Structure 1
C-alpha cells in the first residue's frame, strides 16, 4: 500500500514538474482598464489567428489575420469584400481571392487594443474555433491582446478560471 501511495505521489510530482517547466505561447487577453486576464488562447508556432467582424457601416465581412513571431503579434493580412471606411488602402501587395480583396502586410505589435462593439459580431478565430469577443468582455469594454510565453500550468489555470 505504501509503495502505491509513493508511486502516485511521485507521478503527481512529475506531472506538476513538467507542467511548470513546459512553456506554451498564448494570446493573452486582458481587460484594458483593469489589466484583469479575461482569456488565454494557445497559439502554436506559425499558426494564424484572426479577428472577424462585420463592418459597421457597409455591413460586409472583414478578417484581420495575425501570427505570433518573436514575441510580437504580426498582422499579415486584411481580407475584405469591398473597400470601406477605416480599412487600409494601398494598391500594393493586394490580390483578389474569390469574393475577397486580400491585402498582404507585415505589421508588428507588442499588443493591440480593441473595443468590443455592439453591432459588428466580432469574434476571435483560431483554427476551426470561433469565439465571440463578448465571451471575454461586455460590449463597449476594451480588450488588450498580447503574445506571451507562460508555463503550461499557468495556461491551464487561466484557461479554467476565465471566460464562460
Structure 2
C-alpha cells in the first residue's frame, strides 16, 4: 500500500520533471521585449552558425559567423562586399582584416554577447540562418518585422511544444 502511494506520487513528479527540465541546447529566438520563445533551432554537435542578410543600403550580402557556448554567443568573423554606410573599414585589436576575391573579411573576432537583437527583415534584408551548411530563411518561421532576441539556451520539452522548430 505504501509502495503504491509512493509510486502514485513519484511517477507524476518524474513526468513533470522530464517535461519541464531544460535539456535541449538550441539557438533560441524570443520576443525581444517579452522573453517569450518564438522559434528555436535545435543544435546537433556543431556549435557554429551564421546569419546572412542583404544590407539595406548597398544591397549586397553580409555574412556574420558565430560560435555558441552554453550562455554566450561569440562573433568570430564578418564578411561583406561593400564599404558602404554601416560597415567597418578595418579590424580592431587582434582581429585580422583581409580582402579575397572582392570580399572583405574581418577574422579572428572574439566579440562575445549574451544575446543578439534582430528585427526580421520585411523588405530587403532576407535574414537567413546557416547551420551545418543548410540555409533557413527566418521570415519562413517568424513574422517579418518581428524584433527577436537570439540567444544560446537550453529549453524543456514544454518550451519546445510552445515554440516553432526551425529545421529542414
TM-score range, shorter chain: 0.7 to 0.9
Stretches of structure 2 lacking an aligned partner (at least 5 in a row): 1-15
- Is the 8 Å Cα contact of residues 135 and 163 (structure 1) preserved in structure 2? no
| Superposition map of 1:17-96 within 5 A | 23-44=23-44, 47-91=47-91, 93-96=96-99
Alignment length (residue pairs) = 148
- Is the 8 Å Cα contact of residues 64 and 79 (structure 1) preserved in structure 2? yes
Stretches of structure 1 lacking an aligned partner (at least 5 in a row): 1-15
- Is the 8 Å Cα contact of residues 45 and 68 (structure 1) preserved in structure 2? no
- Is the 8 Å Cα contact of residues 65 and 75 (structure 1) preserved in structure 2? yes
Residue matched to 2:141: 136
Report the TM-score, using the length of structure 2 for normalisation. Answer: 0.72
Query: Tell me, what secondary structure is at the counterpart of 1:86?
Result: coil
Residue matched to 1:114: 118
For 2:23 and 2:165, the matched residues in 1 are separated by: 22
Note the aligned Cα RMSD (angstroms). 2.9
User: Cα distance, 1:137 vs. partner?
Assistant: 2.4
Give deviations 1:21-75, integer Å, cap 9, x for gaps.
7933211111213332111112345532111011111111110110102520111
More displaced stretch, 113-122 vs 16-25: 16-25
Give deviations 1:113-154, integer Å, cap 9, x for gaps.
101122111111112322212133222220110111235x35
For 1:99 and 1:127, the matched residues in 2 are separated by: 25
For 2:143 and 2:158, the matched residues in 1 are separated by: 24
